[in-house]
Structures are given as structure tokens and as C-alpha cells.
Amino acid sequence: MLNELRHFLLVVEHGTFTEAARRARLTQPALSASIHRLEEHFGARLLHRGRKGAAATAAGEALVPRAKAAIAAFSEAGRAVAEVAGLRVGEVRLGAGATACTYLLPVYMKRFRERHPGIRMRLREGLGEHLVDAVSEGELDLAVVRSEEGEPWKNDALIIVAAPGFEVLGAPFVTFPQGASTREILDENFPDAEVVMELSSIAAVKGHVRAGVGVALLSRHAVEGDLAQGRLVEVEHPKTPLRTVFSLVHRGVDRLPPAATALREMLLRDRDRISSRRRRER
């Protein structure tokens, strides 16, 4: 009905069907048919037709401001959609584990904010299975997880690290609590390991390992700086490195809002050549 409303307003504004048809780039019969559809829709005569032109009836006069408001509202809605589609406004709800939040995503978050300063970013840190559930329930748009599901993004490797000079033979492990995927991988691959500490953050784990409390199984991404600066050393072991892959999980590309679509595309443009299908998340 928006075109019919526009045609009606043209007739009211210009006073003749001839001029309104010219402005609308329609034939006069086509314009008359459009007005007839509108009158049928409202069940009332909207225009008086006379020798000197056309004028709004009482019903037509009542319709004029509402027709203008309807057209303006539709135009405003179109601009709002265009702003979102053009990434001038919007929101991205992203979830990730501690490793991805701390060591992988910051550079991408900075880059995305620079490109799209009007987009609000929401980043939630959590355990992989909880984040996948949040995506499924619509609480998050995207999640970066180690999982069998999703689009492969970044390779990772879990390695054992220790303080320089620390006696690693028979050393206990500093690790995360039950429920963390790194802990699950530790328990699966080192079932007889002695766990001396269960800590919630990567920084805390590394701090106690640097202090000589024990060794730790950690993502290589999380310890690259420590290894380069000599604060930690990699411990050689037949079972390590344990290869894993970070993936992007979502409910489907067609269900992502424009801002989340743009973030997904930016991340995947920089994805690794995936060398392993095993995916878990700390």
C-alpha cells in the first residue's frame, strides 16, 4: 500500500490526476487504478474528482497526515536497516575461552573497532561447552572454541612448560579446575599426573609455574612470550605437543546479524591452514 499512499498524496498535492501521473511516471489509467485500490482498502472515497481537478474528501483529509507518517516511518526503517547493514550501528556478542580471549582475539577486536567504531562489542569469557550452549540459545552470535563443530580458524598446540632449571622428573602439575577443557586434556593424556594446584586463570597458573611449584600443560599461544623471554622453558615429552584447533561456532551464516557476519569474515580471512581436526577449548 505504500505506493498507493504515495500516489494519493501526489494527487492531493498537485490537484490533478494528470500531473500526479506525470510525477509518478505512470499512465493516468494506472494512477486511477492505484487510487481505486487504496479506496477499496479503506472502504471509503478519498478524492473528489471534478472538471477542475481532484481534492481530498473528509476521509481523504483524515488520511493525509497518516499517509505522510506511514511513508516517513517506512523511510526511517529503511535507513535504520541500511545503517546496520552498512555497519554504522549494531552489536556483536562474542564468546571465547581464556586462551582465545587473552592471546588471540585482542588484535582482531582492535582491528574491528577501528574499521567499525559504531559497532558495540560484547566479549564473554567462558568454558567451551557453556559458550556453545549460549550460541545455541541465542545469547551469543559467535564463539571461538576448541570443538568438533564450527569453522576451523587457528591451529594450537598444548605443551608442558616449567621454570628454567626446575627439576621436572616426577614434578606435579599446576592446572585448571575440573570442567576446563585443558584439564580434561591433561587428565586424558596424563591420567597418573599429580595435581598440586587448581587455579582459574592462565596468569595464575603461569605465575606458580615460574615460581617453581610445578609444571603445566598450556597452549603455546599462552606461553610464547614467556618462552621468548626465558621465564619458562618447554619440557620435551613424547605425548606433546598435543595438536588442537580453534573454531568459530554459530547457528548458521544466514542467521548472523550484519555486524557478526563482518567479524566472522574478518577472522576467517586470517585463518590458518588447519593441520588437525581435534578441537577443544579451555
Euclidean distance between the first and the last CA atom of the chain, given in angstroms as a whole number: 54
CA 90 to chain CA mean position, Å: 10
Query: Against a cut of 0.75, is the pTM above it?
Result: no
Judging by DSSP bridges, how do beta strands 195-198 and 151-162 pair with one another? unpaired
d(CA 180, CA 200): 9
Q: What is the pLDDT of residues 230-240, one digit of tens each?
A: 999 999 999 99
Local structure of 39: helix, strand or coil: helix
Enumerate domains of the chain plus CATH numbers.
2-85 (1.10.10.10), 91-153+247-269 (3.40.190.10), 155-243 (3.40.190.10)
Give me the amino acid identity at 239.
Answer: K
pLDDT score of 147: 80
Tens-digit pLDDT profile for the chain (282 aa)?
899 999 999 999 999 999 999 999 999 999 999 999 999 999 999 999 988 899 999 999 999 999 999 998 888 787 667 767 778 788 899 999 999 999 999 999 999 999 999 899 999 999 988 999 999 988 999 999 988 789 999 999 999 999 999 999 999 999 999 888 899 999 999 999 999 999 999 999 999 999 999 999 999 999 999 999 999 999 999 999 999 999 999 999 988 989 999 999 999 999 988 754 443 444
Q: What is the pLDDT of residues 99-123, one digit of tens each?
A: 999 999 999 999 999 999 989 999 9
